[in-house]
Amino acid sequence: MLQIKVDAKTIREFSNLILTLVQEARVDFKPDGISSKVMDPARVAMISVEIKKDAFQEFNVDGEDSLGLDIEKMRNFLRLTGPNEIIDMKFDGKRISMKIGNLSAGIPIIDPSTLTTPKIPTIEPQDKIVTDLSLLATGIKAAEGISEVVTFTMKSDEMRVYAKGETESETTEMTIPRSQAKEYIYTADARSSFALEYLTKFLRALESTDEISIALGNDYPLRMEAPILNGKGKVTFLIAPRIENI
């Protein structure tokens, strides 16, 4: 049996996070909640999203089940709903039905074995900062206008997020001093560059958090984590570095 009731904004954030990388995904349903892990076709970035059963108005899941879902079609339905409206979702063995008031839709099931579900690697970046999401988002937004690549650096007293344009004089920079961080772990100086497009999409999909954890190494994958849905969910984002030719 699989039947859940959830407000639209919860399932919308879940969908939007997955859609930053792929359109279709395997979603795992367990008695303690739902989760999904996805990787973009270019194998540059991964996302893992988890939502606890406490985030749902009703959560009836017997055992464990994995369903392949067209997340884009789900989002198209969610666009017709208000953020606080309650969606009734059921699985009848062939499709997921979604209903709100007098409006209903059916989402066909995709064979989950045909969908790539990555194993999230255990990486240990040397430095870490927990900061306000708004600071990072502003730094990324500023970089969008001049570059396709953004660089993160970490020193003993600050983290910087900066980008360079086509000329040396065209730059943007967001500095987050150690004194403004909620947590700051520094081991050694670090510097890595990343494709801006992935970071932009990921940060735009975050709706229910105001802080983010950033773990950084030297020419090393970037790991971001954030609590979502008032602590009833969690998202992890990994992106491979852009190695610059010297």
What pLDDT is attached to residue 227?
Answer: 97
Q: Which of 55-69, 115-129, 176-190 has the lowest mean pLDDT?
A: 115-129
| pLDDT band at 245; cut points 50, 70, 90 | low
- Go through the domains of the chain in sequence order and give each one's CATH number: 2-38+52-114 (3.70.10.10), 127-239 (3.70.10.10)
What pLDDT is attached to residue 246?
Answer: 42
pTM of the full structure: 0.93
Cα–Cα distance measured from residue 33 to residue 29, given in angstroms and rounded to the nearest whole number: 6
In this prediction, what percent of the chain has a pLDDT beyond 90? 83
Q: Is residue 40 within 8 Å of residue 89, measured between CB atoms?
A: no
Give me the half-sphere count of Cα atoms (radius 13 Å) on the Cβ side of residue 21. Answer: 28
Q: Is residue 176 within 8 Å of residue 95, measured between CB atoms?
A: no
What pLDDT is attached to residue 120?
Answer: 84
Q: Is the pLDDT of residue 44 over 70?
A: yes
Nearest by Cα to 176 from 242, 239, 130 = 130
Mean pLDDT of the chain: 93
